[in-house]
A and B are shown apart, each in its own frame.
Chain A
């Protein structure tokens, strides 16, 4: 039937024999090559029996290895890097091996120490002899070059994050000698925020000796190269296998500056379904699950083999920005009424199953030294009051508006549904506008929706930073497009004081935040616990202000 008929009779025997020899040879070669490199010995798949390996299941966060090459999942990348300073860990009240960062202490890490000048504006860092993943020793040039790169790359988010502490590295950062480098700030009051920044992502220092070898005319800071070659840091782990969208394997370094690590291998697996991630930890197929649904965490709360970490003061907030550049939320009374129409406790109970809490109406963490959250408006769910306020503001028949929510965040959609139902009684008609994550990001940036609901956090936890993170004039991060001079004046008054964590400064922050909340551009709904599940076989999960897990702190649980 084939149109290409084989010639009658069988082909010459020698041909067949030769073909057979070639085939067998090729197969044997493939077998021998393959066996020698990666064969798994029987019994290797013990389901997590090896205590020095931790398997983490996570949704696809589109891992970004270089902070200045876009915004994405930084967690694996963060564990390849080390920062000049770090915030120490303390045990959480919950116990069970759960820890949390003390966000107001800044200890040496890559820097062996730092001095502050008498005027409080210049910080001089003394560098340790940390070795990079490829064996280069840390130097002042690394620090200088790293900040040069970050401030001269169009895809870098760092300049926006570090303003106003650091705006011009060329004049603000000075190399004193090969192991000493100084940073000069515009005013002393920014010092605490600066130290916090140097303990977070912005404090990561890259191996400039390695990166400079891969600089090209198109890529003057080797940003593109480093996106594909992640091992350019001084941190605890190196990437030994990476398949985008599938898995990553991180292996512990033996010459890491803080000494040997308890967990030798981190196995990251991308698992899109949240229910499956939770189940995998419950059944012992993985040790840590990330981005777990609150309902699943709550359902597993009584499971003896799993712990859902609860920390004292999580920094992730559910918030509802009310965009002030258009009706109806250009009217402050309508914004305030909305703050009385949100069913706070219902969201905490129904959506987060108790894995969230409301410490008052504000956004500043209430445990900051010198600060108090007293005297703010008492926003609670009070539909009658909201309705009366709306009527007084000239809307006796109520108000209708669009609430944008990202399709990628199921808990936000659930919260939106709770708000929609509850706000009806207050005269608000909420039209939920679910959209793809990219479209949501765009509307957030250009402030085009009437309102949003989202989950977000400030990485740097100092009062002045938190106050400015969603209110910066002209900032894309100013969700509500709210620019209010009296608030900026109050903030500036606080920044004039030399110590941001002093009681005097605390009063200033309280006054500024009172303006913020009375104007109600953003309804802060509740603080959400970390959305992770940890197997009891692993200890040392620590909440961090960036909410990315610090692998070097993990260890097999005792017993």
Chain B
């Protein structure tokens, strides 16, 4: 699977990052906007039911079925469009959960790591465990988790968040360690701010940005991992439309020349990941 927990090299200083000029709708955001539109409106205007057998199997793309029918006789176009909502939902929800939990854990671990006593020990242990999780192939962890939870949209979101969260936490933790030593924190402490307020007002805004900048990658990884799990047979149960399972079911057909049932969801998948990285570049100048 093309899923690596990528770590963008930290820019030299947070001050150097570009901010999005307000009110500018860049060309780079068009594909993503289109995808969201398809996800919202698409299921309402489908020519066929995406979860029912509607015709003979393996029909070539044509006037009746724009993308043909798959091995079961379901309409590939309707399924590809309907899957957009499922896949985007999983991708977005995973990004939100993984980032939120990752930032929280990164904050807690980073702030407590230097402490003595059980809290510090726990924080240091968590920090090491997060590192060690990187040593396991994400796809195998995903397999185990999905096999355990069963495949459904919430369980996929949960499993993918668990897989993608540690990296977010690591990014934030590293930043917290840097910010912790800054002079303005001492100043705030001396002015009598409580530790919680301190963390929320000063540490959080100054250390969460690498996780924030990484979200487009998390989103892309979530999309590809979902598809990868589908390809390995632990995706959503049939006939739920989902790109990965569609590619998985279509792959043997493609090997024998019936290319359409795998090709169209593959294109949709590639477009989505591409659109996400374009958004990331636009928002964060991450080139």
Query: Touch between A and B in complex, CB under 8 Å?
Result: yes
- Which residue from B147, B237, B253 sits with its C-beta under 8 Å from A439? B147
Considering only residues 407-442 of chain A, those with a C-beta below 8 Å from chain B are 407-408, 410, 413-414, 416-418, 420-422, 424, 432-436, 439
The answer to whether B238 and A417 have CB atoms under 8 Å apart is yes
The segment from B67-75, B116-124, B169-177, B272-280 that touches chain A is B67-75
B255 — which chain A residues lie within 8 A by C-beta?
273, 275-276, 279
* Contact stretch, chosen from B9-17, B21-29, B51-59, B105-113: B51-59
Which chain A positions have C-beta within 8 A of B258? 295, 299
| Interface flag for B204 (CB, 8 Å) | no
B251–A350 contact, CB under 8 A?
no
A278 within 8 A of B: yes
**Minimum C-beta distance from A330 to chain B (A):** 24
- In the complex, whether A478 has a CB less than 8 A from a CB of chain B is no
Q: Is B72's CB under 8 angstroms from A350's CB?
A: yes
A169 beta carbon closer than 8 Å to chain B: no
Question: Are B238 and A275 touching (Cβ within 8 A)?
Answer: no
Residues on A with beta carbons closer than 8 Å to the beta carbon of B56: 350
Check if B114 is an interface residue, CB within 8 A of chain A: no
Chain A-chain B contacts (Cβ-Cβ < 8 Å), number: 75
Give B208-258 interface residues, CB cut-off 8 Å to A.
Answer: 233-234, 237-239, 249, 251-258
With A278-B256, A417-B53 already in contact, the answer to whether A407 and B234 are too (CB < 8 A) is: yes
Nearest chain B residue, comparing its CB with the CB of A406: B233
B52 cross-chain contacts in A, Cβ below 8 A: 420-421, 424
Shortest C-beta distance, B240 to chain A (Å), equals: 9
Contact A436 B73, beta carbon cutoff 8 Å:
no
Q: Which of B151, B238, B251 contacts A273 (CB 8 A)?
A: B251
Q: What is the CA–CA distance of A346 and B52 in the complex, to the nearest angstrom?
A: 13
Contact B256 A410 (CB under 8 A): no
With both chains docked as a complex, state the minimum distance between the C-beta of A273 and any C-beta of chain B, in angstroms: 6
Contacts A275-B251, A414-B71, A439-B147 given; indicate if A434 touches B256 (C-beta within 8 A).
no
Question: Contact partner of A295 among B71, B234, B237, CB < 8 A?
Answer: B71
Cross-interface CB contact of B150 among A296, A350, A416, A435, cutoff 8 Å: A435
Pair B256/A296 contact, Cβ less than 8 Å: yes
Q: What are 5 sample pairs from A and B whose C-beta atoms fall under 8 A apart? A: A273-B255, A275-B251, A295-B58, A295-B71, A417-B239
Contacts A418-B72, A436-B234; is A295 near B57 (CB within 8 Å)? yes
CA–CA, A293 to B51, complex, Å? 22
Does A274 touch B at the CB level, under 8 Å?
Answer: yes
B234 contacts across to A, CB distance below 8 A: 407, 436
Q: List residues of chain A with CB within 8 A of the CB of B71.
A: 293, 295, 414
A435 and B233 CA atoms in complex are apart in Å by 8
* A396-B6 Cα distance, complex, nearest whole Å: 55
User: In the complex, which residues of chain B have a beta carbon less than 8 angstroms from the beta carbon of A351?
Assistant: 72
Q: Is the CB of A432 within 8 A of B251?
A: no
Closest residue of B by beta carbon distance from A415:
B72
- The reply to whether A407 and B233 form a contact with Cβ atoms under 8 Å apart is yes
Q: Which of A276, A278, A408, A418 contacts B53 (CB 8 A)?
A: A418
Q: Hey, which chain B residues are within 8 Å of A405, CB to CB?
A: 237
> Could you list which residues of chain B lie within 8 angstroms of chain A, going by C-beta atoms?
51-53, 56-58, 71-74, 147, 150-151, 233-234, 237-239, 249, 251-258
User: Which among A273, A279, A350, A420 is the interface contact of B239 at CB below 8 angstroms?
Assistant: A420
4 smallest CB-CB distances across A and B, nearest first, come from A275-B255, A275-B252, A434-B237, A407-B233
**With the chains together, A260 CA to B120 CA distance in Å?**
75
What's the Cα separation between A432 and B151 when bound, in Å?
11
Tell me the complex Cα distance, A17–B181, Å: 58
Tell me which residues across on chain A come within 8 A of B238, comparing CB atoms. Answer: 413-414, 416-417, 432, 434
Kindly provide the distance from the CB of B241 to the nearest chain A CB, expressed in whole angstroms: 12
**Closest Cβ–Cβ distance, residue B38 to chain A (whole Å):** 24
CB distance from B233 to the nearest CB of A (A): 4
> Which chain A residue lies CB-closest to B74?
A417
- Evaluate contact between B237 and A436: CB separation under 8 angstroms: no
Interface contact A436-B256, CB-CB below 8 Å: no
Q: How far is the CB of A197 from chain B (nearest CB, A)?
A: 35
B73 to chain A: closest residue by CB: A350
Residues in A with CB closer than 8 Å to B251 are 273, 275
- How many angstroms from the CA of A416 to the CA of B74 in the assembled complex? 13
Residues in A whose Cβ lies below 8 Å from that of B233:
407-408, 434, 436
Contacts of A421 in B (CB 8 A): 52-53
A410 to B256, CA, bound (A): 16
Which B residue's beta carbon lies closest to that of A420? B239
A295–B58 CA distance with the chains assembled, in angstroms: 9
Q: In the assembled complex, which residues on chain A have CB atoms less than 8 Å from the CB atom of B256?
A: 275, 278-279, 295-296, 299
CB distance from A385 to the nearest CB of B (A): 21
Q: Write out the residue numbers on chain A whose beta carbons fall within 8 Å of the beta carbon of B53.
A: 346, 350, 417-418, 421-422
Nearest A residue to B53, CB-CB: A421
Distance in angstroms between the alpha carbons of A430 and B49 in the assembled complex: 16
Residues of B near A295 (CB, < 8 A) are 57-58, 71, 253, 256, 258
Nearest opposing residue in chain B for A278, CB measure: B256
- When C-beta atoms are compared, the residue in chain B nearest to A294 turns out to be B71
In the complex, what's the smallest C-beta–C-beta distance from A3 to chain B, in angstroms? 24
Name A267-294 residues within 8 Å CB distance of B: 273-276, 278-279, 293
* Distance from A281 Cβ to chain B, minimum over Cβ atoms (Å): 11
Contact among A296, A408, A413, A422 with B252 in the assembled complex (CB-CB below 8 Å):
A296
CA separation between A497 and B285, bound complex, in Å?
86
How many angstroms from the CA of A165 to the CA of B258 in the assembled complex? 50
| Min CB–CB distance A384 → chain B (angstroms) | 19
Residue with the greatest number of chain A CB neighbours at <10 A, chosen from B53, B58, B74: B53
B237/A432 in contact, CB under 8 A? yes
CB-defined contacts of B58 to chain A, threshold 8 Å: 295
Q: Which residues on the B side are within 8 Å of A432 (C-beta)?
A: 237-239
Question: B51 — which chain A residues lie within 8 A by C-beta?
Answer: 420
The chain B residue with its CB closest to the CB of A353 is B57
Interchain CA distance A418-B238 in the complex, whole Å:
11
Looking at B74, B239, B249, the one whose CB has the most chain A CB atoms below 10 A away is B239
Chain B residues whose C-beta falls within 8 Å of the C-beta of A274 in the assembled complex: 252
Output the nearest chain A residue to B58 by Cβ-Cβ distance: A295
- Hey, which chain B residues are within 8 Å of A296, CB to CB? 252, 256
A433 touches B72 (CB 8 A): no
- A413 to B234 Cα, complex, angstroms: 13
* Least Cβ–Cβ distance between A463 and chain B, in angstroms: 35
Give the complex CA separation of A420 and B51 in angstroms. Answer: 9
Complex CA–CA separation, A405 to B238 (angstroms): 10
A436's partner among B74, B147, B252, B254 (CB-CB below 8 A) is B147
Whole-angstrom distance between the Cβ of B70 and the nearest chain A Cβ? 9
Given contacts A295-B57, A432-B238, A436-B233, are A417 and B253 in contact (CB under 8 A)?
Answer: no
Contacts A299-B257, A420-B51 supplied; 15 other A-B pairs, CB < 8 Å: A273-B251, A279-B255, A293-B71, A295-B253, A295-B258, A350-B72, A407-B233, A407-B234, A417-B238, A421-B52, A424-B52, A432-B238, A436-B147, A436-B233, A436-B234
Residue of A whose beta carbon sits closest to that of B240: A432
B239 to chain A, nearest CB (A): 5
Chain A stretch 67-106: residues in CB contact (< 8 A) with chain B: none
**Measured between C-beta atoms, what is the minimum distance from A289 to chain B in Å?**
12
Which chain A residues numbered 305 to 320 have a C-beta less than 8 Å away from chain B? none
* Contact partners of A424 in chain B: CB under 8 A: 52
- Residue in A closest to B239 when the chains form the complex, CB atoms: A417
Docked Cα-Cα span, A407 to B254, in Å, equals 20
CB nearest neighbor in A for B49: A421
Given contacts A408-B233, A417-B72, A420-B239, contact A434 B151 (CB under 8 A): yes
Closest to B146 in A: A436
